[in-house]
Amino acid sequence: MVDLKDSRAEIDRIDREIVALFERRMQVAKDVAEYKKSVGKPIFDKTREDEKLRAVEDMCRDEFNGQAAREVFKQIMSVSRRLQYRLNQKPLDGGFKVLDFLPKSADTRVVYFGAPGSYSEQAMEECFGEEVTSFPAATFKEVMAAVRDNLADFGVLPIENTTTGGITDSYDLMVDFDNYIVGEHVLKINQALLGLSGASVDDIRTVYSHAQGILQRREFLMAHPLMQAVEGGSTADAARRVAEEGDMKKAAIASVRAAKKYGLSVLADHINSEEGNSTRFIIITGRKEHLCTADRVAVCFSLPHETGSLYSMLSNIICNGLNMTKIESRPLPGRNFEYRFFVDFEGTLTQAAVQDTLLSIRQEALEMKLLGNYKTV
């Protein structure tokens, strides 16, 4: 039987050789970077890397070692690219203006989703106060368009809920519009069943709300099978509709704030499926701006539909020592079962590590879009 100490000593000796060879390889990678810089050749050469990975796999004696060597060399080449990007690339010219704070004067125009009394309005007021000039928009797209067309300086949209997850429309619209995330705000959501004065829970047959409001209250609705949920508009729009229609059999899932706004009674309070239910709102602007205290970067990208492509892309974040805080995927139109990924990670655009990460993602992804550099406000 082989002695364990002898085996470990042999592994240590081999590892020293591997490290020495790795450092030699990285030195050669520097020479390659200088050459590519002199002739204007891009760092990422997919054809060359694929050829190299096949060659490494073929050198091994069995299938397991071949696959393992392929994975090891994928990582080695990824690290090599990180070094070459750092040596070779100019910083991204983002052209972002740095703000000391979000403006909150009467001249500041802010658009929010829904109607007066909505959670988006509440999030807007908590971020900007009540002195700004604010106005509602009926759809997420109208919020985006108002910001793009300079009808508003900022917009407030929900993007994620702790119970139901990502709000897909908001993600898709961030691709369609050239707006930027400058802030986020987390709001605890306490939904209630609102009806006309004198109505009771047992009277209700139709319940209006936004799709998210219905999803977040599914357990309550399941416990009252005679209630039929109807989607449409924001939660505040639903409350306003109940008040306007004046039907004792109709109710809305909305906030107590909306009940006060539209003169409704709270028939049942705290009907959340989860006690800690919260929604994350994004603050968008049509200008390239970020707060001086911004500490999160948001990007989206699409990838080749092949093994390991997402792992390779995320290694750009890992190898630069950055912490990924969020990942979401959305289907790519016209490309069945292929996805665009939305990723947030810690950092600011002025950091070298963030610059290296963005440069590498831009070169290696099929497409990349910088969505903003933001701060929780």
Given 279, 285, 348, 357, which residue is catalytic? 279
Q: What is the 3-state secondary structure (H, E, C) of the chain?
A: CCCHHHHHHHHHHHHHHHHHHHHHHHHHHHHHHHHHHHHCCCCCCHHHHHHHHHHHHHHCCCHHHHHHHHHHHHHHHHHHHHHHHHHHCCCCCCCCEEECCCCCCCCCEEEEECCCCCHHHHHHHHHHCCCCEEEEECCHHHHHHHHHCCCCCEEEEEEEECCCEECHHHHHHHHHCCCEEEEEEEEECCCEEEECCCCCHHHCCEEEECHHHHHHCHHHHHCCCCCEEEECCCHHHHHHHHHHHCCCCEEEEECHHHHHHHCCEEEECCCCCCCCCEEEEEEEECCCEEECCCCEEEEEEECCCCCCHHHHHHHHHHHCCCCEEEEEEEECCCCCCCEEEEEEEECCCCCHHHHHHHHHHHHHCCEEEEEEEEEEC
Q: Which residues pair with 180 in a beta bridge?
A: 285
Let me know if 279 is a catalytic residue. yes
Establish whether 44 is a catalytic residue.
no
- Cβ contact 52:76 at 8 Å: no
Q: What is the C-alpha separation between 115 and 233, in angstroms, rounded?
A: 9
Token pair recorded at residue 313: 């892309």
Q: Report the alpha-carbon distance of residue 196 to residue 243 in Å, rounded.
A: 7
First and final CA of the chain: distance in angstroms?
A: 64
Set 154, 281, 342, 345: catalytic member: 281
Task: From 27, 125, 14, select the one nearest 83 (Cα to Cα).
Answer: 27
Write out the catalytic residue numbers.
Answer: 279, 281
